[in-house]
Structure 1
Amino acid sequence: MADKFLGTYDPNEVTLSISGRLVSGFSDGTFISIKRTVSDNYKTHVGAKGEISRTKNNNTSGTITFKLKGTSPDNAFLDLIKYQPSAFPVLVKNNSDGKFMAMSSQAWINAEPDKEFAMDETEVEWVLMCADLNKSHL
Structure 2
Amino acid sequence: MADKFLGTYDPNQVTLSVSGRLVSGFFDGTFISVKRSDNEVYKTHVGARGEVSRTKNNNTSGQITFTLKGTSPDNAFLDLVKNLPNTFPVMVKNNSDGKFVAVASQAWVSTDPDKEFGVEESGVEWVLTCADLNKAHLS
Q: Give the TM-score range, shorter chain.
A: over 0.9
* Pairing 1:18–2:9 present: no
SS of equivalent to 2:96: coil
* Pairing 1:95–2:95 present: yes
C-alpha separation between the residues in 1 aligned to 2:77 and 2:122? 18
| Number of residues of Structure 1 aligned to a counterpart in Structure 2 | 138
Counterpart residue number, 2:55: 55
Counterpart residue number, 1:133: 133
Give the partner amino acid of 1:126: W
Counterpart residue number, 1:45: 45
C-alpha separation between the residues in 2 aligned to 1:122 and 1:5? 36
RMSD: 0.4
Structure 2 counterparts to residues 1-12 of structure 1, below 5 A:
1-12=1-12
Counterpart residue number, 1:29: 29
Counterpart residue number, 1:81: 81
Quote how far apart the aligned CAs of 1:76 are.
0.3
- Report runs of 4+ in structure 1 exceeding 6 Å deviation: none
Identity, % of aligned pairs? Answer: 76
Quote how far apart the aligned CAs of 1:45 are.
0.5
SS of equivalent to 2:38: coil
